[in-house]
């Protein structure tokens, strides 16, 4: 069986278990997803959602972020960790979106990567969830770890390498939802410290399960 065939089989299994493939971050406007993803660095999605519920009320528009001081934003996001750096990026990003893009989040990888604090993970998430462009969101260690166990990648821990390897084997139309489902699976079943292998739908394809069966 080729890696593409394996990827297709895993994709269908994940779809059966997690039919609703949704982003774990809460947002209304495209820039809110951009900002929430920046806040999620070294922070849980659950914590980010708690913070952004108040943050987006305190700063209800992109202009309000641009007008706020870094200190004001930092105070609002301080429980997310790295809050001073993130506050600087949020303000600078808001100013750049207004000045260069008419207040609209750009829709290409090249332009997204020009924004302060935006890397390929964030860019892929925006392209997939906002613009419905096929992308591979290597959002956290779940994706890196599980795709390695499933033999879809060579076990690399480098997010960019994992993204490129997955692009070669995943059906493009399924890639965005595949990544969301993999995160859900990593949190619910394939937990790094205590994987629930007996109840894992993906165990026929998992190297870890086969070695320890």
Which residues does the annotation mark as catalytic?
Answer: 121, 140
* Residue 122: half-sphere exposure toward Cβ, Cα within 13 Å: 24
For the chain, give the number of residues.
Answer: 213
Distance CA 131, CA 89 (A): 22
- Are 192 and 144 in contact, with CB atoms under 8 Å apart? no
C-beta of residue 201 within 8 angstroms of C-beta of residue 38: no
118: its two tokens: 């935006």
Sign, CA dihedral 194-200-202-204, equals positive
Q: Please state the φ and ψ torsions of residue 28, each to the nearest 5 degrees.
A: -115, -45
């Amino acid at each position: 069986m080729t890696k593409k065939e394996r990827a297709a089989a895993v994709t269908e299994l994940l779809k059966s278990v997690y039919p609703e493939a949704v982003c774990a971050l809460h947002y209304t406007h495209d820039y809110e997803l951009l900002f929430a993803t920046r806040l999620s660095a070294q922070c849980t999605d659950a914590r980010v959602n708690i913070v952004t519920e108040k943050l987006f009320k305190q700063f209800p528009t992109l202009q309000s972020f641009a007008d706020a001081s870094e200190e004001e934003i930092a105070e609002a996001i301080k429980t997310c960790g790295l809050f001073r750096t993130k506050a600087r990026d949020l303000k600078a990003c808001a100013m750049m979106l207004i000045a260069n893009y008419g207040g609209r989040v750009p829709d290409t990888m090249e332009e997204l990567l020009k924004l302060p604090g935006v890397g390929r993970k964030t860019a892929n998430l925006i392209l997939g969830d906002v613009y419905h462009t096929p992308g591979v969101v290597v959002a956290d260690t779940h994706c890196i770890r599980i795709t390695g166990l499933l033999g879809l990648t060579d076990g690399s821990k480098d997010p960019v390498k994992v993204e490129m390897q997955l692009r070669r084997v995943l059906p493009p139309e399924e890639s965005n939802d595949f990544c969301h489902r993999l995160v859900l699976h990593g949190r619910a079943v394939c937990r790094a410290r205590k994987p629930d292998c007996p109840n894992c739908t993906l165990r026929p394809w998992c190297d870890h399960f086969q070695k320890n069966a």
